[in-house]
Amino acid sequence: MKEKKKDIRALTKEQLQDFFVAQGDKSFRGSQVYEWLWNKSAHSFEDMTNISKATRQMMEDNFVINHIRVDQMQRSSDGTIKNAVRLHDDLTVESVLIPTKKRTTACVSSQVGCSLDCRFCATATLKRMRNLNPDEIYDQVVAIDNESRLYFDKPLSNIVFMGMGEPLMNYNNVMKSIEKITSKEGLGMSSKRITISTSGVPKMIKKLADDETKVKLAVSLHSAIDEIRTTIMPFNATFPLVDLQEALEYWYEKTKSRITYEYIVWEGINDTRKDAEALVKFCKYVPCKVNLIEYNPIDDGVFQQASSEATSMYENMLERNGITVTVRRSRGKDIDAACGQLANKSS
């Protein structure tokens, strides 16, 4: 049986250098190829024009480059762009470019489907099929960086891991992709411009703090009352708020980096004073800010955006208690690109 060729981008720079030395070439050749793969985003060995034809053929015989393909790009009336991204095994994920006056942000996926089952989230309707590889995450960012330059005349400024999947459930690959995004052979972006948005996996939040990655942390909180959070985010039964609180205290002690809580207020679910009071109490544990996010219905009728009075009640109570709060209007609603709406509908 013919042996399956390995994806060359699964190799580290050192492994590539060793490969070329083993072929009787110089280790420098490995660095040159590495730069083509990551800095210049070469899609094929043919693109590597300063490498000899014979060496390109030798790589072709040994490896593949599993590059992603943007199958479909949709543009929202508010400028938001959504990419349907085809992977080498024909699975699809989505990523989004969110432009504002000051910045362009990439919202990228980390898994095909999701390991978790948040009731309000469209991605949760797709079962988790597999984790994305580091290069597949990196490629989404590069595609969005190119679109940002093309349509908005500026490079990508921020990245948030808030697309499909729970990034902390694909920890190693997400970290490797961040290494590439921040390295000089990659995009050279600062890790301070990268936010990991998690539904709150305590053990992994602590690991992220220990690993000193310098990324920012956002937590999809949505309720600070266990019984309610468990009904909307069932894994809360396994990772209750007390464990999350302890992990967040650990995070802050280690990183001194303020946490962002993402919070949606739904009608009849978490729109009372008691809910807002519980959030204020939770916010006192570690320095934080709160994003109150407008909800995008995913057609099931159970989750409905709360009244503007309920949102204002939250806003006022947080402000009165000295907690920074921002009300975030959703972007890209007309193309199902808004928070919680990514479900490969475009494919």
Catalytic annotation, residues: 94, 339
236 binds ligand SF4 (CB under 6 A): no
Q: How many residues bind ligand SF4 (CB under 6 A)?
A: 12
Q: Is residue 140 involved in binding ligand SF4 (CB under 6 A)?
A: no
**Does residue 166 interact with ligand SF4 by CB under 6 A?**
yes
Judged by beta carbon, residue 52 or residue 304, the one nearer ligand SF4 is 304
Pairing of strands 288-293, 63-64: unpaired
114 assigned to a ligand binding site: yes
**Least CB distance to ligand SF4 at residue 338 (A):** 12
Q: Which window, 161-169, 202-210, 223-231, 285-293, contacts ligand SF4 (CB under 6 A)? A: 161-169
- Which of 17, 83, 199, 270 forms a contact with ligand SF4 (CB under 6 A)? 199
Q: How far from chain centre, in Å, is Cα 30?
A: 30
Check the annotation: does 121 bind a ligand.
yes
Residues 6+ apart with CB under 8 A from 214: 191, 192, 255
Residue 187 interacting with ligand SF4 (CB under 6 A): no
- Is position 148 annotated in a ligand binding site? no
Residues from 91 through 130 that contact ligand SF4 (CB under 6 A): 114, 116-118, 121, 123-124
336 binds ligand SF4 (CB under 6 A): no
267 to 306: interface string for ligand SF4, x by CB under 6 A: ----------------------------------------
- Annotated binding-site residue? 83: no
Q: Is 95 annotated as a binding residue?
A: no
Instruction: Report the residue number, 148 or 198, with the smaller CB distance to ligand SF4.
Output: 198
- Binding-site residues for [4Fe-4S] cluster: 114, 118, 121
* Sequence ranges of the binding site: 114, 118, 121, 165-166, 197, 220-222, 296
Q: Which residues bind ligand SF4 (CB under 6 A)?
A: 114, 116-118, 121, 123-124, 164-166, 199, 220
